[in-house]
Amino acid sequence: MKVDVTSGWLQGARCVGSPNQDERPADAAIDLLVIHGISLPPGEFGGGWIDALFTNTLDPQAHPYFQEIADLRVSAHVLIRRDGEIVQYVPFHRRAWHAGQSCFEGRARCNDFSIGVELEGCDDRPYEEAQYTALAELARALMAAYPAITPRRIAGHSDIAPGRKTDPGLAFDWQRFRTLLG
């Protein structure tokens, strides 16, 4: 697995471009990896609902919950599906809209300097082994491409937005991930 730093795309990932992105500030070095969890509808896996959310094509009539979120303009750089498939929405050198109001080590606006990785899942159900494997491979590729990202600079959404966000949740096994990361 390798990142093309010129284009910002991950080789071998399925690409679904999201309009929910913009330029990073000129002085913002990419030095943080943020792990999220997402399922649409909540607690359900599979289907194209996450792609639809990140591309502003979510049908609010398809599920009652979608009426609440259909107008959100959000994205992540990548999604790791339950089977380990990686889908990329935003080139890594651009700013994805994943962290919202956030702070890491005293620095606010984490979207400016982070890469957002969504895991298809929810806070209270175990993630799949294929997801941990893909996440560890992806993290190593990102650390090679962006050396300021180190194992110490990998955080959960709950770490950068405490009290507001809980993902990737208690079901995410940080020890397993760090062991696979090496």
Token pair in block for residue 110: 């984490």
**Banded model confidence at residue 114, pLDDT cuts 50, 70, 90:** very high
Give the start-to-end residue ranges of the domains of the chain: 3-181
Over the stretch 159-175, which tens digit does the pLDDT of each residue have?
999 999 999 999 999 99
Instruction: Please state the rounded mean pLDDT for residues 116-131.
Output: 97
- Architecture of 3-181 per CATH? 3-Layer(aba) Sandwich (3.40)
Q: What's the pLDDT band for 69 if we cut at 50, 70, 90?
A: very high
Cis previous bond, 41, omega within 30:
yes
Catalytic residue ranges: 118
Instruction: State the pTM of this model.
Output: 0.96
> CA 125, 35, 162, 22 torsion: positive or negative?
negative
Confidence band for 36, pLDDT divided at 50, 70 and 90: very high
Q: Which residues pair with 36 in a beta bridge?
A: 118
Greatest CA separation for the chain: 44
